[in-house]
Structure formats: C-alpha cells, structure tokens
Chain A
C-alpha cells in the first residue's frame, strides 16, 4: 500500500534563502504526524509546497502514491488533501453556514448529498449553531479557527495539513479542535500533518514527529526521542522549554 503523503527531496528557494532544503517526508495512512521546529524553519513553506500554493524548485509530492506535480491548488483540494491556514482564510462577509457550504460544494460527490446534514453536524460539533447566520468576520479568533477546521471536515478528505491550528486559542476551543481531529482520524482513517509549537498537544496526538530546522529535516521519531537529541535541544526545544 502506498504512503498517504510523501514528499520527495523538495527544494524551494526565495531569492537567496533556501526555505526548503531537500525535504523528504513519509506519512503513513491514518497517522497523525507532528511537524515542529523554530520560527522560520520552513514549516509553512513545506505546507505551501504540499498544497500547491508554491511550485517546488525541485522534488515532488505524492498523495496516496499519485504525483501532484503541475496540479493547481483547487485540484489538490479536490483530490482530498485539505489544509488550514496559520492565518484563517474565511469569507468574512458570509455567514458561518455559507462558509461551510462554500467548502462543501466544490468537493462534494455522489455520496455526500446536498450538504444540509453535514452543516448540521458541523454546527453541532463546533457548537457554532447559534452563530449559523452570523458573518464570519464577527467571530472571535478561536471561533474562526474552529470554523476553518469545520470547513475542512465538511467533505471528509484523505489527508489534512494543519498549519498551527492551536496558536492563540483558548483552552476550551483547543480541546474542541483536538476532539474533531481525533474523531475524523478514527472514523474516516484520515491522515494528518499537524504543525504546532504546543508540545503537550503534540505529545497527546502524535506518535511520530518531524523536526525542521533551517529548511531541512533535522530529526524524526517520537517526541521523547527527538527531545533527547542535542542539536534539537540546542536549536529549538531548549528555547521552547525555557
């Protein structure tokens, strides 16, 4: 069985800066992989390369064994690779339901019906029901993060790439998001690549983590294994744990 998500020797340069330097990553089906590393390490760049925001200078991305070379962002999304943004990209003037609907329509298929059931489910799961007809721009930061997550779950994808979904969010909503991730992972067997600085959550969710530093993959293993590596402590965790 092919890997759920695989990057093969990705290289991306921004001017003189090597933001992704020979990044190879292999994520198994049903795995929740953590991606950690200091700011500026190239995590978001990697996410952008995987989801088609930037074309890589070299290397390739494979989703379920299929190469994504030359695919546009929307084509990648329709193939079942769903992402969330560090800074939420919602449709501010549209209501919560309309945001969910927009995410539903382009990716819907014969099995999904007309979306009303999913909207109901998502409103219940996120407890955003009372805000269904509120414009997204009027939500709090946490509610926005929840909504963005819910948008991604409207049509189950095969693989989710989440860029710092827990940053700057209150603990209640953090738990709600964690529940959603675990639920989708269990029920649909979806694969996750989660970028986060919150070691407690990473420890709870991820059996394996990948550490990025200066555009490279610096280490890989369980969080406890990588936390023992001197270069990781020196470059990242030492500071993170201070």
Chain B
C-alpha cells in the first residue's frame, strides 16, 4: 500500500506546493517586518493577481505569452499596492504609533471586503481559467502540469530576486534597516514612509505573483485568495512572524505535512494537519521556529 513511488510523489508534490505557499507567507511576513502591521487583505491581492493573469492571457496577450503576463500581473499588483499604501495606510502611519495596529487592521479588513465585492460585481461569481498550453512534465516519478512546474520555477526565481534585492541593493539595505529601527532610519535621513510604500508594494506583489502563477492551476474566482491566505498565516505562525527564512522553511514544511497527511493518514482532513502543526508550535515555541524572542525592533 505505502509504495516508495507514492512516498516520493507525495514528497515532490508537497515541496512544490509548499514553495508557492511560502511566497504568500513571505509577503505577509515582509510587510509585517517593515511596517509592524498585518495586511489582512493579502488574499485579495492574490485574487487580483490571478484576475490580471486571466485577463491578460484570455483577452490581450494570448496563451502563448503567459510567461510575459506573469511579471506584468505581479507589477500591476505592485502598483496597486503603492496606491493602497499612499492613499489608505500612509495617513495612519503619519500619526504617532499607539493605535496604528488597530487602524491598519480595520483598514485592511475593509479593503478585503471591498475588493471581494468588487470582483464579484465586475466579473461575477463564476470561476475562470487562463488555461495553459504547457505539456505535462515528469518530475522524478511524478507527472506534473506544466503550469505547476512553471509556477514553481517562477516562484524560485522570484525568491532569488527578492533575496538579491534585500542583500545587495541600496534599497535592500534601507528595507532591512527599517525592519530593525524605524526611528534609526529616519535619523539616517531615510524617508520611512517611502520605504513602507515600496515594502507594501513588494509584499502584495508576492501575493499577486502567487495568484498569477496559480491561476491556471487553482482557477480564478472572487474568493480564491482565501485558502492561500489561511495557509500563509499558518506558515507565518509556524515559521515566526517577521522571519523570512522561517517563512520559506515553514512553507515547504506545511506543504509536506499536508501532502503526507492526506496521502497516508486520512485525506478528508488535509486542512487540519497544518492547523495541528500550528497548535503544536504555539504550545512549544510561541514565537515560531525562527521568530525573534521579543517583538521590539
């Protein structure tokens, strides 16, 4: 019953989906680490990314240029993120930090509802698929949709680019510094609200990228960001809020646990395994696998 082939296949499929979950978690954790707020509307940015991808492929570029549509969709979500930060969040962050968290929660929750109803209003409740002409690829013993492999590869590329940006660019320096002391960077002459804007844009663009990549695999509809967001938050708790390596490790871990749980324990409870892990982590190490001990910068 437990054939090696099934184990290897389950391992591969869990890892591949885990990396895509990690993309989502990375966005949440990155925005938190810079702005010290949680963006509850993350799933809606995923949703926008998937709709952009669908619209570009189905209406504008055609299925052959799907690879071009992906960076365009992510860039579209990035720009939208800049607008959201500028119009909704910046006014909150101008004020002293006391109730900032609560305001940010209310604003992003309102944004979540608004964007969802907007999607339903504009495109209807039906699901769409941008389709994919990519052939099925053998990953070891596991046949995989070309679109899924492409999503995995794009996600890895995005993660590497993200790392290079943080590590080796001037903006990366400013972003890392801001995550450690918002007052410190301002003293150094850095416009912290400008850093917020870029950080929010990049964070939601990661979600948008995940949405665009997964559009042909998990379909496009108004609430398609929900489940990925839930996974994203689970990963953030498992990996530690604010920890970027934590998000990556926990993402893959969650993908594996869900796959193996579904394949070898009981497939009906696939969503429960990750949640069980969350509870376990909260009990043993409340700050997550790689979370900082304290929350102060």
A contacts B: CB pair < 8 Å: yes
Chain A residue total in the interface (Cβ 8 A):
25
Q: List 26 A-B contacts (CB under 8 A).
A: A72-B191, A73-B183, A74-B189, A74-B191, A77-B187, A77-B188, A78-B189, A83-B187, A89-B181, A89-B183, A89-B187, A90-B184, A91-B180, A92-B180, A93-B180, A94-B180, A98-B177, A101-B173, A102-B190, A103-B188, A105-B170, A105-B173, A105-B188, A106-B185, A106-B190, A107-B188
Decide yes or no whether A25 CB sits under 8 A from chain B: no
Decide yes or no whether B55 CB sits under 8 A from chain A: no
Interface string of B82-118 (1 = CB under 8 A from A): 0000000000000000000000000000000000000
* Contact call A90/B181, Cβ cutoff below 8 A: yes
* Contact call A94/B176, Cβ cutoff below 8 A: yes
* Contact call B184/A89, Cβ cutoff below 8 A: yes
Residue of B whose beta carbon sits closest to that of A77: B189
* Contact call B186/A73, Cβ cutoff below 8 A: yes
* Contact call B184/A106, Cβ cutoff below 8 A: no
Chain B residues near A101 (CB-CB < 8 A): 173
Decide yes or no whether B149 CB sits under 8 A from chain A: no
What is the minimal beta-carbon distance from A80 to any residue of chain B, in angstroms? Answer: 10
Decide yes or no whether B192 CB sits under 8 A from chain A: yes
Give B125-180 interface residues, CB cut-off 8 Å to A. Answer: 170, 173-174, 176-177, 180
Decide yes or no whether A195 CB sits under 8 A from chain B: no
Interface string of A81-93 (1 = CB under 8 A from B): 0110100011111
Interface residues of B (CB under 8 A from A): 170, 173-174, 176-177, 180-181, 183-193
Interface string of A209-240 (1 = CB under 8 A from B): 00000000000000000000000000000000
* Contact call A106/B174, Cβ cutoff below 8 A: yes
Decide yes or no whether A20 CB sits under 8 A from chain B: no
**Which 5 residue pairs spanning A and B have beta carbons closest together?**
A106-B189, A89-B184, A73-B186, A77-B189, A107-B189
What is the minimal beta-carbon distance from B114 to any residue of chain A, in angstroms? Answer: 30
Decide yes or no whether A53 CB sits under 8 A from chain B: yes
* Contact call B174/A105, Cβ cutoff below 8 A: yes
Given A89-B187, A91-B181, 6 additional A-B pairs, CB 8 A: A77-B187, A78-B189, A85-B183, A105-B188, A106-B174, A106-B191
* Contact call B185/A102, Cβ cutoff below 8 A: yes
Residue of A whose beta carbon sits closest to that of B94: A72
What is the minimal beta-carbon distance from A104 to any residue of chain B, in angstroms? Answer: 8
Chain A residues near B192 (CB-CB < 8 A): 74
Residue of B whose beta carbon sits closest to that of A88: B184
Chain A residues near B189 (CB-CB < 8 A): 74, 77-78, 103, 106-107
Chain A residues near B173 (CB-CB < 8 A): 94, 98, 101-102, 105
